[in-house]
């Protein structure tokens, strides 16, 4: 059954605002988790967000957190937080299958850096969430919580759906091309993609090492920041990268000075209902005193916006080439041994990735360096880039996870991004994607919080 989506009416599950009650005993992590488990029992048979879970272990960790709050000694801001993790991050007590039943049969080995950080901080790992096979094969069986006949997006499909269905307040996802903020848009949840490398990716599996981001899907932007910041503090940045900077608590909301519309080729693909919702939202934002500028009206911005197709091609080349190890080599080994472990579509796409020439990869890297330098030169305080989160609401059927055109530029740039569930199109969610600049995650978060709170207050 389809449920009509109205952005302001949705009451999403949040965590940070429960901590005060944990401290007084008015609520406890155990009771909070029990509510999540009841919701999982109710929604999971239809949503199919999870591929593995250990609920007894989760309850034991919630009991430990409850005792720590009672004793006035919580471990971190995420102590007692029920959270799910995309099934690309290794866990020592649950199998890691990358969406593959064949790989999921292998025994668990170790925790990814962020999973270790969650445990160290008292986080309550509820389970692993679904994704397309190896991230690029057939979509998972996960359905969109707003309409089970529609896609939740990909590849962080299970993570977005679990949060949208209020089964957990937050889930970890990842993005190489559009795998985090697109499902956030389709499912009507918040997403935060920190700048590339600011959160350690150890235990992620090695795919797209210069491209992949760790990110958070959550019921609110405050939780997304707190979780990402806690992970960045405990796990640290990926080796060779700068750490995620900013306060441990969410920064104070700050009104953006200028939002730059950078839709380019994506606008041609955007459905009429999505265009109308986006234009209406930006009109209201402008009426609240925020400048809204079209990239095409400024020569430097226009030059970059006009290269969206080229940026997408470079991003695809880098993503495909860097998937060679270990994912597509697993496909190749399976084919050489007689096949059968992976879906034929996964095999076809995997072998295509193995065929990407080294010269094309090197050219794409050179293009990315130049693109990032030119984009960085446009950075100014209070200026952010905006697009719709997707070309429309979630596509009908489960065979497609939708277009990632609006994620190409930010994924190539490695910039921080937030997706805010501020719009509806055809009665379904549509996100607003706001992109900041490298090293300015906290400034982006402050602007995102201003937009989210102003929207909820009816001021935009």
State residue 207's pLDDT score: 81
Distance in angstroms (rounded) separating the CA atoms of residues 159 and 217 = 7
Q: What is the pLDDT along the chain (460 residues), one digit of tens a residue?
A: 456 899 999 999 999 999 999 999 999 999 999 999 999 999 999 999 999 999 999 999 999 999 999 999 999 999 999 999 999 999 999 999 999 999 999 999 899 999 999 999 999 999 999 999 999 999 999 999 999 999 999 999 999 999 999 999 999 999 999 999 999 999 999 999 999 999 999 999 768 999 999 999 999 999 999 999 999 999 999 999 999 999 999 999 999 999 999 998 899 999 999 999 999 999 999 999 999 999 999 999 999 999 989 999 999 999 999 998 888 999 999 999 998 999 999 999 999 999 999 999 999 999 999 999 999 999 999 999 999 999 999 999 999 999 999 999 999 999 999 999 999 999 999 999 999 999 999 999 999 999 999 999 999 9
pLDDT at position 221: 98
Q: 400 an active-site residue?
A: no
**Nearest 5 degrees, angle CA 112-CA 118-CA 124?**
115
Tokens of 26: 């008015």
**In the structure encoding, which two tokens stand for residue 231, read together?**
């992970």
Whether 179 is a known active-site residue: answer: yes
pLDDT of res. 2: 59
In tens, the pLDDT along 119-154 reads 999 999 999 999 999 999 999 999 999 999 999 999
86 belongs to the catalytic site: yes
pLDDT, residue 4, reads 82
Of 18, 76, 86, 193, the active-site residue reads 86
Element containing residue 214 per DSSP (H, E): strand 213-218
Burial (CB < 10 A; 0-12, 13-18, 19+), residue 49, is: buried
What pLDDT, in 10s, does the model give residues 394-438? Answer: 999 999 999 999 999 999 999 999 999 999 999 999 999 999 999
Catalytic residue among 76, 100, 151, 155: 155
In the chain, CATH 3.90.1300.10 covers 7-253
CATH topology of domain 7-253: Amidase signature (AS) enzymes (3.90.1300)
Sign of CA dihedral 77, 251, 432, 423: positive
Q: How far apart are CA 172 and CA 84, in angstroms?
A: 6
What is the reported pLDDT for 206? 63
User: Closest by alpha carbon to 391, among 260, 278, 261, 259?
Assistant: 278
Nearest-angstrom CA–CA distance, 281 and 289: 13
Q: Give the strand pairing for 170-175 and 82-86.
A: parallel
Query: Residues 174, 179, 185, 207: which is the catalytic one?
Result: 179
pLDDT of the residue at 362: 98
Write down the pTM of the prediction.
0.97
């Amino acid at each position: 059954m389809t449920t009509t989506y109205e952005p302001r009416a949705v009451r999403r599950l949040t965590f940070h605002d429960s901590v005060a009650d944990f401290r007084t005993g008015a609520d406890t992590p155990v009771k909070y988790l029990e509510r999540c488990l009841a919701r999982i029992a109710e929604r999971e048979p239809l949503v199919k967000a999870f591929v593995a879970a250990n609920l007894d272990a989760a309850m034991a960790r919630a009991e430990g957190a409850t005792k720590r709050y009672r004793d006035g000694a919580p471990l971190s801001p995420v102590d007692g937080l029920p959270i799910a993790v995309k099934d690309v991050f290794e866990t020592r007590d649950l199998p890691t299958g990358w969406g593959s039943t064949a790989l999921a049969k292998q025994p668990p080995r170790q925790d990814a850096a962020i999973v270790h950080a969650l445990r160290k901080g008292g986080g309550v790992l509820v389970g692993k969430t679904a994704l397309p096979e190896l991230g690029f094969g057939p979509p998972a069986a996960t359905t969109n919580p707003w309409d089970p006949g529609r896609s939740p997006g990909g590849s962080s499909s299970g993570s977005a759906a679990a949060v949208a269905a209020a089964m957990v307040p937050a889930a970890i996802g990842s993005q190489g091309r559009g795998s985090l903020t697109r499902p956030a848009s389709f499912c009507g949840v918040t997403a935060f993609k920190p700048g590339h490398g600011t959160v350690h990716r150890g235990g992620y599996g090695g795919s797209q090492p210069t491209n992949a981001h760790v990110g958070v899907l959550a019921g609110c932007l405050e939780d997304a920041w707190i979780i990402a910041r806690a992970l960045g503090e405990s796990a640290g940045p990926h080796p060779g990268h700068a750490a995620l900077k900013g306060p441990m608590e969410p920064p104070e909301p700050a009104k953006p000075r200028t939002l730059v519309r950078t839709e380019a080729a994506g606008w041609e693909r955007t459905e009429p209902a999505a265009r109308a919702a986006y234009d209406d939202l930006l009109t209201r934002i402008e009426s609240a005193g925020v400048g809204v500028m079209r990239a095409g009206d400024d020569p430097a911005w226009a030059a970059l916006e006009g290269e969206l197709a080229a940026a997408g091609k470079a991003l695809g080349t880098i993503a495909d080439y860097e998937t060679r190890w270990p994912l597509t080599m697993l496909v190749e080994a399976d084919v050489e041994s007689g096949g059968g472990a992976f879906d034929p579509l996964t095999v076809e796409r995997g072998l295509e990735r193995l065929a990407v020439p080294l010269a094309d990869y090197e050219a794409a890297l050179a293009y990315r360096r130049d693109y990032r330098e030119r984009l960085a030169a446009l950075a100014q305080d209070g200026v952010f880039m905006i697009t719709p989160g997707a070309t429309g609401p979630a596509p009908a059927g489960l065979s497609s996870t939708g277009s990632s055109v609006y994620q190409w530029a930010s994924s190539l740039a490695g910039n921080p991004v937030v997706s805010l569930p501020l719009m509806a199109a055809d009665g379904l969610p549509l996100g607003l994607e706001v992109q900041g600049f490298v090293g300015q995650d906290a400034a982006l978060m402050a602007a995102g919080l201003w937009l989210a709170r102003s929207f909820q207050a009816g001021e935009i």
